[in-house]
């Protein structure tokens, strides 16, 4: 009876380890996606600063529906970043 109890505890521990590993993998995937979104945002902002330093602050301060006067390339970049 002692052996089956030991085997049961080992099996239970292995199941718990698998569950914890799956949860860790899910969290890592979620964090990876969040980092990719942030990278896109940062690259877009750097592009805006390089292309149009004078209008960057005004563009950042305005809501996304007020991108009037911004070159088409920037609008495409911003839409791509905002939609992903």
pLDDT tens readout for residues 51-83: 765 565 555 555 554 545 555 656 666 666 666
Structure tokens at 70: 């911004």
What confidence tens digit (pLDDT) does each residue in 16-55 have? 999 999 999 999 999 999 999 888 888 888 877 777 655 6
User: How many structural domains compose the chain?
Assistant: 1
Cα–Cα dist 77/28, whole Å: 27
Give the domain range for residue 73: 2-83
62 closest CA partner among 74, 51, 73: 74
């Amino acid at each position: 009876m002692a052996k089956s109890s030991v085997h049961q505890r080992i099996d239970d521990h292995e199941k718990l380890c698998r569950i914890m590993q799956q949860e860790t993998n899910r969290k890592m995937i979620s964090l990876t996606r969040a980092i990719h979104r942030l990278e896109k945002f940062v690259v877009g902002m750097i592009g805006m600063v390089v292309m149009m330093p004078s209008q960057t602050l005004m563009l950042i301060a305005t809501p996304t529906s007020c991108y009037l006067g911004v070159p088409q390339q920037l609008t495409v970049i911003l839409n791509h970043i905002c939609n992903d």
